[in-house]
Structure 1
Amino acid sequence: MSKIIIIGAHGGTARIVTERLLSETSDELVLFLRNSSRLSQYKDNPRVTLVEGDVLNTEDLARSMSDVDIVYSNVGGTDLEKQIASIIKAMDQTGKKRLLFISALGARHEVPGKFGEWNEQAISAFLPGFRASAKLLDDSDIDFTEIRPAWLTDNQEIKYETTDETEKFKGTEVSRASVADFVIKVIADPAQYERASVGLDKPGTDGDKPSWT
């Protein structure tokens, strides 16, 4: 049994991870989010601790992760670099080492061709934060797994392949359920993918842009 803090716990992928951990494991969860009432369905669950807080408040974050085994970040936004810096600082203060972090394709300049050009434009406001966060992790002593999913869908399917940071990204899309499945597998065996950056996509979705655009 492990204890996991999920930061940004109301995110779509985070909610899938929460449900699967509660139904498939005996793990305990700390769900950290801005508005805890959004996850009020868990307030009476003895395996869940709900924490309302701001990821940029490092001291509150550190208190919330003081007794966890694994940190899973599902935060995002144009200020992602500041959020990841706060998470790293809180982990350093509490001696935590294992971090799973949801990033995005393009964070490592790894998306080739026309799709890469389209992606650069489509998420131009966010890529600087993803790239700065990747450098913060590289420069830290955190045992991180940076997860770079393709464009996310809500399809109820688990179909994905992985690439490492030295490989060109493949497909254009992947389901949140697939990303959650990868997270669950690494939580179950956290010695996997330490200090690694992993791309996730659905096989056969290569193209110039996602299918729905």
Structure 2
Amino acid sequence: MKILILGAAGQISRLVTRKLLNETNHSLVLFARNGAKRLTISDAGREEIIDGDFTDSNMVKKALEGIDAVYLNDVNSLTGVKTVVEAMESSNVKTLIAASILGIYDEVPGAFGKWNERMVGRAGIQHQRQAADIIENSSLDYTILRLTWLYNQTGNEAYQVTQKGEPFEGAQVTREAVARLIFDITQDPAGYAKTSLGVSEPNTNWAKPSFY
């Protein structure tokens, strides 16, 4: 399998890259602004860096050549999301994993839901919902990851998921766990197709994350 990572310089993307290199024989295309300066190749036979902006349709289409699956680390740019979706559709690349945030379906109950909305802001949540709508209205076999509040803890890869339409559970999750989930999806993309998953750490149903 050949995987394109858009936003490859991000923390989660770097963890995903390392995990895929260590635990599979997949090839990776690492796409990032100033990627040559920000990224280092550890396996020249399996990695390629592309300097680019994923709002640039021609660059994205070129990066998609020979690609089987795409991980999009950032959906903040609606133009970028639309560009990626349209480029994938025209290139007949179907598998998209995209990282978003919790709360876009008003699915977070109780005190934590109120805290989250206060911290993120209604406008920010609605913006992320628009990005999700673009993806969900596409022909792609997408998996949207609605991530709760992130922190780092080496070795902690515990995650749980909730489906769209279910109440969101969990106030925090490690970036390492998110990387593990993304890895798991790449091993069985069909099993996760057309889903929007709430992602959190088990047993963290609190009013706010432990680090706040």
Provide the residue aligned with 1:32 in structure 2. Answer: 31
Length, aligned pairs only: 209
Q: Distance in 2 between matches of 1:178 and 1:43?
A: 22
1:4 is matched with which residue? 3
Q: What is the CA distance between 1:141 and its match in structure 2?
A: 0.8
2:88 is matched with 91
Q: Counterparts of 1:26-175 in structure 2 under 5 Å?
A: 26-36=25-35, 37-39=37-39, 41-42=40-41, 45-77=44-76, 80-124=77-121, 125-156=123-154, 157-175=156-174
Q: Distance in 2 between matches of 1:179 and 1:44?
A: 23
Q: Structure 2 counterpart of 1:123, which letter?
A: V
Which secondary structure state, in structure 1, belongs to the residue aligned with residue 182 of structure 2?
helix
Shift of 1:44: 6.2
The letter for the 1-side match of 2:208 is K
Structure-1 residue corresponding to 2:209: 210
How far apart are 1:108 and its partner, in Å? Answer: 2.1
How many angstroms apart in 1 are the aligned matches of 2:75 and 2:124?
9
- Secondary structure of residue in 2 paired with 1:42: coil
Q: Provide structure 1 residue ranges, at least 5 long, that are not aligned to the other structure.
A: none
Contact 1:43 1:50 in 2 (8 A): no
1:176 aligns with 175
Alignment RMSD (CA, Å): 1.3
Partners of 2:81 and 2:131 within 8 A in 1: yes
1:156-199 deviation digits (Å, cap 9, x = unpaired): 20111110011101110000010010100110111111100011
For 2:105, the aligned partner's letter is: R
After TM superposition, which residue ranges in structure 1, 4 or more long, deviate above 6 angstroms? none
Please report how far the alpha carbon of residue 122 of structure 1 lies from its aligned counterpart in structure 2 after TM superposition. 1.1
3-state SS of 1:71 partner: strand
**Counterparts of 1:43 and 1:33, CA distance in 2:** 16
Return the TM-score normalized by structure 2.
0.95
- The answer to whether the 8 A contact 1:152-1:173 is kept is yes
Would the aligned equivalents of 1:6 and 1:32 in 2 still touch at CA under 8 Å? yes
Unaligned runs of 5+ in 2: none
Q: Kindly provide the amino acid, as one letter, of the partner of residue 105 in structure 1.
A: L
Give the alignment's TM-score, normalised by structure 1.
Answer: 0.94
Q: Specify the code of the residue in structure 1 equivalent to 2:119.
A: A
